[in-house]
């Protein structure tokens, strides 16, 4: 065992000096490798972070949302629905929610206006007060203690004192959010009392959700029920699918990279071939040479992977994935700026490794073998 | 010590440019002696060294070394035998540029996974013995021809081989360096190592340290080609 | 759902390893027909040279299969949010009928690759490569297995749709469900544990017998395979509930999760490795015994048996510790 470790140490030693001796060529390979890792890594980290944001958004969402449909379109829900729903067994709580979108020409962005739930003690607001997301704060240049001025669709102005900023553990959810009191909200959108945007249900036993929905749907014919699960799996599949599609397109770049690696590995200079011949003649076995070459691949892979991954991390989480967000976010154009909260997990890293290290190894294995089986007697000729 | 029976080596078998470099060759080489192969270029000297040194497998025939038949061994075990038994000094030296002298000397021992300190010590001792102690850390490309050859010899000796093989060792040396080389060979002989040289240099074939001269022609030993003592 | 990133990664891996093994099996056929270690012919030299590529490729494939196996389970667990009714890997795997067969095939391929490499390692020690023919025979036998695994996996992923309502471990591994999984869960913990520790005793006893009788190695290999099945059964029926401290939670996957301090890996990995060593030991003895390794071969076989038995014992010990530390009392 010790002998084996010593042997690997010698091989790594030699590999390292051999890499250094052909610095220019290996730097080139390293750069391309790191670039591929960077590209793929950016896509994965970004879409993973977005998916997590969505999951976080939904984690706080009620088990069931109830909307009313009029001519197939989402309409306001009268408060009478609340009473009906509360009568179903298993419904722990039903609450009307008020929220809506506002396009703000001043900052050229869409905001979400929302009345915090009555159960949300942390964000309780009086009339004339507001709590806003980081994105809104920076877009409008207001801070805590200052005044936010909003212009309603009817052309009236609403003056709100900024009480607080929303915490940033999920920026995509909260960045565009403006919380305000129910009175202000109804006045701002000229909404009569007794109607809500939609309703939220809390159910005591999650296993009963489907039964409750079935029963409710039979009596409330114009209502649509959306469970948290539905939304989550839609998000999951939409984002996974987009990410996957993008990666499939990037597959060509993986292909190109593999061909490049193959080419680099098979285009041994006569110098290098001779070197391998010498090693074999003086007592190295084919497998020693292969081990040496595989170490070389491992060193290059590992360093390129780490560097590419760190760059991707910086790109996504420090520079808001400037290169990608039009593709993956879709709605981002009218969204205020936000930065993603860093999130990495093992599955992501493993997958990224599969997409980069595996094709590299596959592409270089045959050339490595060819080089390693150089006849030792060539050095005598 | 070494025996060859009916050994044939064909290169590019079955192709148009097929070459029978060695044919039906039989030879015995005694241990602890210095033997020189001589003959014109293309006579098969180098191929013969290649076969004896386990660098290639004969196409047919048997080769035995120290009582063991090595001609049928797979590459892996041939390498093992080669590493344990032989030290090579190649005509073109074949040192690896970019590495230092001592690194080159240690190279054959890398796959053995020896203790680094002891290996380094052994390589230093060898360079000492060959009178180039202060060049250990110098890169190969900065050494003179004579120094480089001594590094190559040190490399050949690092695994303590019983048999040392050298191919045209003096082809690029002037007479004083040649004398120096012969002194090294003499020392190897005193250490009871078997030395096998291929050379058509009269300074070698005629040297008194040579025990036996074998003359080759067209891939086999020529008539009356084995002479005891130097010629 | 093949545009899901980890799924694409697994498809890439299985595509590569299928290609590798088909190519290697093709080479294997040539070896079976023409291998002659005595010859110095160009063909033999070329074949010997090629074996280096085959063995390196298979080492690589084994690593890939192991990684892909872990990724498969991991990803199934992660994807469970997408399927109504699923809480962990089981639900995802159960989202269509190909999930579990794919998992089993993948495990079998990983087994095969490990087995092959163990035999290969021994083969390299003999001067005339005495095990070359059986080794490549094994390789050829593995090829359809690998293709089946790749095919099942592809079918499974192609048939995966987010709108499926699946059933998860709580429903699958309950005694009333009437499937194989349910049969396993329905075994009483008493007999199951008896099977596990009794089986271990038999296996250890056989391991001691192999020190004296060479023939016992073959019996041991068979016992190792059976012990693998017994251990899995015992894990489903008894060990899992102990780990979860819940008498009706029988899921063999949840024990891989961090909530249960990944104890599943410590149970399964030694079990798999132990089985591979045991099976490899069974393949080693040759008739007639090769001259180059007359004493060496049985010695290595006995060592493999010892390693295998040790790994089995380790796996069972972990299970025992898990049971001892559990707050649940089943017996």
Query: How is chain C split into domains, by residue range?
Result: 1-167, 169-331
In the prediction, which pLDDT does C177 show? 61
Nearest beta carbon to residue C82 from set A237, A359, A366: A237
C41–B13: do the CB atoms touch at under 8 Å?
A: yes
| A136 — pLDDT class (breaks 50, 70, 90) | confident
In the prediction, which pLDDT does C45 show? 84
Question: Which residues of chain A make contact with C81, given a CB cutoff of 8 A?
Answer: 55, 229, 232-233, 236
- The share of chain B scoring above pLDDT 70, in percent, equals 100
| C233 — pLDDT class (breaks 50, 70, 90) | confident
* Ranges A25-29, A104-108, A206-210, A355-359: which has the least confidence: A206-210
Residue C6: is its pLDDT beyond 70?
yes
- The share of chain C scoring above pLDDT 70, in percent, equals 93
Residue A90 token pair: 């298993």
- Residue in A closest to C80 by C-alpha: A233
Report H helices in B44-201: 45-52, 75-85, 101-106, 116-129, 145-157, 175-190
Nearest beta carbon to residue C45 from set B14, B57, B73: B57
Chains B & C: contacts with CB separation below 8 Å: 24
Name the domain boundary from A196, A227, A258: A227
Residue B179: is its pLDDT beyond 80?
yes
Residue A338 lies in a domain: yes
In the prediction, which pLDDT does A334 show? 39
Residues A264 and A304 in one domain: yes
B116 touches chain A (CB under 8 A): yes
Residue A2 lies in a domain: no
CA dist C122 and C132 (Å) reads: 10
CA dist A122 and A144 (Å) reads: 16
In the prediction, which pLDDT does B53 show? 93
B79 touches chain C (CB under 8 A): no
C141 touches chain B (CB under 8 A): no
In B28-47, the residues whose Cβ lies within 8 Å of chain A are 46
Determine contact, residues C116/C142, Cβ cutoff 8 Å: yes
Task: Please state the ipTM of this predicted complex.
Answer: 0.91
Mean pLDDT score of chain B? 90
Find how far residue B100's CA is from the centre of its chain.
22
> Tens digits of per-residue pLDDT, B68-77?
899 888 888 8
Choose between C244 and A344: higher pLDDT. Answer: C244
Mean pLDDT score of chain C? 86
Determine contact, residues A243/A45, Cβ cutoff 8 Å: no
Residue A210: is its pLDDT beyond 80?
no
CA dist A347 and B93 (Å) reads: 51
- Residue in C closest to B58 by C-alpha: C40
Chains A & B: contacts with CB separation below 8 Å: 85
> Tens digits of per-residue pLDDT, C12-33?
999 999 999 999 999 999 999 9
Q: Which stretches does DSSP call E strand in C86-176?
A: none
> Tens digits of per-residue pLDDT, A296-338?
999 999 999 999 999 999 988 888 777 776 666 654 433 445 5
Nearest beta carbon to residue A233 from set C52, C53, C81: C81
| C251 CB-contact burial (10 Å; exposed 0-12 / middle 13-18 / buried 19+) | buried
A222 touches chain B (CB under 8 A): no
CA angle (C211 as vertex; C208, C215 as ends), nearest 5: 100
C48 touches chain B (CB under 8 A): yes
Partner chains of C (3+ C-beta pairs under 8 Å): A, B
Contacts of B96 (CB under 8 A, 6+ apart): A275, A278, B103, B104, B107, B140
Closest CA to B170 of B80, B49, B89, B53: B89
Closest CA to C70 of C34, C110, C37: C110
Mean pLDDT throughout A107-124? 81
Residues A287 and A372 in one domain: yes
Choose between A355 and C162: higher pLDDT. Answer: A355
CA dist A366 and C16 (Å) reads: 14
Determine contact, residues C47/C30, Cβ cutoff 8 Å: yes
Mean pLDDT throughout B139-152? 92
Helix (H, G, I), strand (E, B) or coil at C253: coil
* Ranges A216-225, A234-243, C321-330: which has the least confidence: A234-243
CA dist A327 and A333 (Å) reads: 11
CA dist B84 and B63 (Å) reads: 16
What is the least distance, in Å, from the CA of A272 to any CA of chain B? 10
What is the least distance, in Å, from the CA of C42 to any CA of chain B? 7
Indicate the number of domains in chain A: 2
Residues A73 and A201 in one domain: yes
C41–B59: do the CB atoms touch at under 8 Å?
A: yes
C42–B60: do the CB atoms touch at under 8 Å?
A: no
Mean pLDDT throughout A209-218? 82
In the prediction, which pLDDT does B162 show? 93
CA dist C36 and A195 (Å) reads: 89
Q: Kindly state the DSSP code that residue C289 receives in the 8-state scheme.
A: P
Mean pLDDT throughout C204-209? 93
Partner chains of B (3+ C-beta pairs under 8 Å): A, C
Q: Kindly state the DSSP code that residue B225 receives in the 8-state scheme.
A: E
Helix (H, G, I), strand (E, B) or coil at A202: strand
* Ranges B136-145, B214-223, C168-177: which has the least confidence: C168-177
* Ranges A226-235, A266-275, B31-40: which has the least confidence: A226-235
Residues A206 and A70 in one domain: yes
Residue A115 lies in a domain: yes
- The share of chain A scoring above pLDDT 70, in percent, equals 90
C35 touches chain B (CB under 8 A): no
Question: Which residues of chain C make contact with B59, given a CB cutoff of 8 A?
Answer: 40-41
CA dist B86 and B78 (Å) reads: 11
B31 touches chain C (CB under 8 A): no
> Tens digits of per-residue pLDDT, C248-272?
777 888 888 877 888 888 899 899 9
Residue A250's domain comprises 9-58+234-380
In the prediction, which pLDDT does A168 show? 63
pTM score, whole prediction? 0.80
Mean pLDDT score of chain A? 83
Residues A182 and A51 in one domain: no
Mean pLDDT throughout B19-39? 92
Residues A100 and A223 in one domain: yes
Name the domain boundary from A227, A248, A265: A227
Residues A271 and A375 in one domain: yes
In the prediction, which pLDDT does A333 show? 39
> Tens digits of per-residue pLDDT, C81-112?
777 667 778 888 888 889 889 999 998 898 88
In the prediction, which pLDDT does C154 show? 94
C196 touches chain A (CB under 8 A): no
Mean pLDDT throughout A25-54? 86
Q: What is the CATH number of the domain that holds A217?
A: 2.40.40.20
B71–C37: do the CB atoms touch at under 8 Å?
A: no
C127–B77: do the CB atoms touch at under 8 Å?
A: yes
Residue from C31, C35, C37, C40 to probe the interface with B (highest B Cβ count within 10 Å)? C40
Residues A70 and A217 in one domain: yes
Residue A318 lies in a domain: yes
Residues A255 and A169 in one domain: no
Residue C298: is its pLDDT beyond 70?
yes
C6 touches chain A (CB under 8 A): yes
Closest CA to C278 of C255, C309, C247: C309
Residue B133: is its pLDDT beyond 90?
no
Residue A1 lies in a domain: no
C82–A244: do the CB atoms touch at under 8 Å?
A: no
Residues A166 and A73 in one domain: yes
In the prediction, which pLDDT does A118 show? 79
Residue A4 lies in a domain: no
* Ranges A287-296, C31-40, C96-105: which has the least confidence: C31-40
In the prediction, which pLDDT does A331 show? 45
Residue A214 lies in a domain: yes
Mean pLDDT throughout B163-169? 93
Nearest beta carbon to residue C53 from set A44, A248, A366: A366
Residue A3 lies in a domain: no
Name the domain boundary from A227, A243, A258: A227
Determine contact, residues A114/A107, Cβ cutoff 8 Å: no
B24 touches chain C (CB under 8 A): no
Question: Which residues of chain C make contact with B71, given a CB cutoff of 8 A?
Answer: 40
- Residue in B closest to C39 by C-alpha: B72
* Ranges A45-59, B115-129, B131-145, B146-160: which has the least confidence: A45-59
| B143 — pLDDT class (breaks 50, 70, 90) | very high
Determine contact, residues B109/B159, Cβ cutoff 8 Å: yes
| C285 — pLDDT class (breaks 50, 70, 90) | confident
Choose between C16 and A216: higher pLDDT. Answer: C16
In the prediction, which pLDDT does C126 show? 84
What is the least distance, in Å, from the CA of C36 to any CA of chain B? 10
In the prediction, which pLDDT does A336 show? 46
Residue C163: is its pLDDT beyond 70?
no
| B45 — pLDDT class (breaks 50, 70, 90) | very high
């Amino acid at each position: 065992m010790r002998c084996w470790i010593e042997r690997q140490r010698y091989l790594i030693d030699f590999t390292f000096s051999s890499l250094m001796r052909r610095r220019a060529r290996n730097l080139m390979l390293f750069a391309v490798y790191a670039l591929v890792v960077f590209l793929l890594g950016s896509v994965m980290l970004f879409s993973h972070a977005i998916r997590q944001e969505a999951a976080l958004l939904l984690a706080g969402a009620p088990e069931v949302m109830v909307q009313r449909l009029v001519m197939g379109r989402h309409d306001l829900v009268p408060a009478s629905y609340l009473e009906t729903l509360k009568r179903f067994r298993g419904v722990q709580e039903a609450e009307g929610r008020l929220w809506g979108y506002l396009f703000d020409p001043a900052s050229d962005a869409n905001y979400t206006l929302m009345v915090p739930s009555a159960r949300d003690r942390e964000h309780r607001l009086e009339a004339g007060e507001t709590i806003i997301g980081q994105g809104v704060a920076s877009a409008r240049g207001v801070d805590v203690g200052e005044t936010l001025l909003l212009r309603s669709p009817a052309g009236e102005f609403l003056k709100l004192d900024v009480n607080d900023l929303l915490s940033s553990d999920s920026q995509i959810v909260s960045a565009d959010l403006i919380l305000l009191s129910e009175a202000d909200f109804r006045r701002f959108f000229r909404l009569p009392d007794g109607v809500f945007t939609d309703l939220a249900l809390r159910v005591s036993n999650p296993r009963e959700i489907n039964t409750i929905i079935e029963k409710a749907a039979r009596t409330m014919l114009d209502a649509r029920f959306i469970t948290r699960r539905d939304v989550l799996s839609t998000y999951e599949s939409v984002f996974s699918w987009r990410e996957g599609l993008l990666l499939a397109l990037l597959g060509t770049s993986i292909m190109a990279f593999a061909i490049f690696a193959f080419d680099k590995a098979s285009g041994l200079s006569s110098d290098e071939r001779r070197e391998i011949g010498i090693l074999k003649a003086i007592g190295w076995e084919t497998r020693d040479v292969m081990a040496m070459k595989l170490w070389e691949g491992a060193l290059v892979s590992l360093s390129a992977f780490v560097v590419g991954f760190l760059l991707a991390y910086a790109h996504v989480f420090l520079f808001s994935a400037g290169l990608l967000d039009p593709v993956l976010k879709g709605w981002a154009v009218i969204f205020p700026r936000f930065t993603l909260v860093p999130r990495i997990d093992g599955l992501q890293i493993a997958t990224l490794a599969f997409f980069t290290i595996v094709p590299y190894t596959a592409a270089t294995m045959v050339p490595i073998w060819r080089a390693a089986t150089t006849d030792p007697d060539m050095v005598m000729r | 010590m070494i025996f060859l029976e009916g050994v044939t080596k064909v290169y590019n078998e079955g192709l148009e440019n097929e070459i029978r470099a060695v044919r039906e060759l039989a030879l015995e080489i005694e241990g602890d002696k210095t033997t020189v192969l001589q003959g014109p270029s293309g006579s098969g000297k180098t191929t013969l060294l290649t076969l004896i040194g386990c660098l290639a497998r004969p196409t047919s025939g048997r080769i035995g070394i120290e009582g063991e038949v090595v001609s049928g061994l797979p590459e892996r075990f041939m390498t093992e035998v080669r590493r344990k038994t032989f030290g090579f000094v190649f005509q073109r030296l074949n040192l690896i540029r970019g590495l230092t002298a001592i690194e080159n000397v240690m190279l054959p021992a890398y796959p053995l996974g020896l203790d680094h300190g002891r290996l380094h010590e052994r390589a230093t001792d060898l360079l000492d013995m060959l009178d180039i102690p202060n060049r250990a850390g110098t890169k190969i490309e900065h050494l003179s021809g004579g120094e480089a050859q001594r590094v190559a010899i040190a490399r050949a000796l690092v695994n303590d081989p019983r048999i040392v093989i050298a191919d045209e060792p003096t082809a690029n040396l002037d007479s004083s360096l040649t004398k120096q080389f012969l002194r090294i060979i003499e020392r190897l002989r005193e250490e009871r190592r078997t030395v096998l040289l291929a050379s058509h240099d009269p300074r070698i074939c005629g040297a008194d340290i040579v025990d036996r001269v074998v003359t080759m022609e067209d891939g086999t030993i020529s008539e009356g080609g084995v002479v005891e003592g130097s010629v | 759902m093949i545009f899901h990133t980890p799924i694409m990664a697994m498809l890439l891996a299985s595509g590569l390893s299928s290609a590798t093994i088909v190519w290697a099996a093709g080479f294997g056929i040539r070896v079976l027909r023409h291998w002659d270690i005595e010859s110095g012919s160009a063909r033999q030299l070329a074949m010997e040279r090629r074996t280096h590529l085959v063995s390196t490729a298979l080492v690589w494939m084994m690593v890939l299969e192991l990684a892909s196996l872990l990724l498969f389970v991991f990803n199934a667990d992660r994807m469970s949010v997408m399927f109504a009714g699923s809480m962990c890997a089981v639900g995802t795997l159960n989202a269509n009928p190909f999930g579990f067969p794919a998992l089993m095939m993948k495990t079998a391929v990983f087994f095969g690759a490990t087995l092959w490499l163990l035999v290969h390692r021994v083969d390299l020690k003999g001067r005339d490569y005495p095990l070359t023919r059986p080794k490549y025979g094994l390789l050829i036998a593995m090829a359809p297995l690998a293709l089946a695994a790749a095919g099942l996996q592809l079918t499974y992923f192609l048939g995966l749709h987010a709108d499926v309502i699946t059933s998860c471990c709580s429903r699958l591994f309950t005694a009333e469900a009437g499937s194989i999984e349910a049969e396993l869960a329905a075994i009483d913990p008493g007999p199951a544990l008896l099977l596990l520790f009794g089986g271990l005793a038999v296996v250890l006893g056989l391991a001691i017998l192999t020190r004296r009788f060479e023939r016992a190695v073959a019996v041991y290999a068979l016992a190792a395979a059976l012990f693998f099945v017994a251990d899995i059964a015992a894990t489903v029926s008894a060990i899992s509930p102990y780990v979860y401290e819940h008498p009706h939670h029988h899921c063999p996957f949840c024990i891989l999760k961090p909530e249960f301090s990944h104890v599943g890996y410590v149970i399964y990995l030694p079990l798999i490795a132990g089985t591979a060593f045991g099976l490899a030991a069974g393949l080693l003895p040759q008739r007639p015994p090769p001259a180059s390794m007359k004493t060496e071969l049985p010695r290595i076989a006995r060592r493999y048996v010892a390693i295998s038995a040790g790994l089995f014992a380790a796996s069972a010990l972990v299970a025992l510790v898990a049971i001892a530390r559990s707050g649940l009392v089943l017996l």
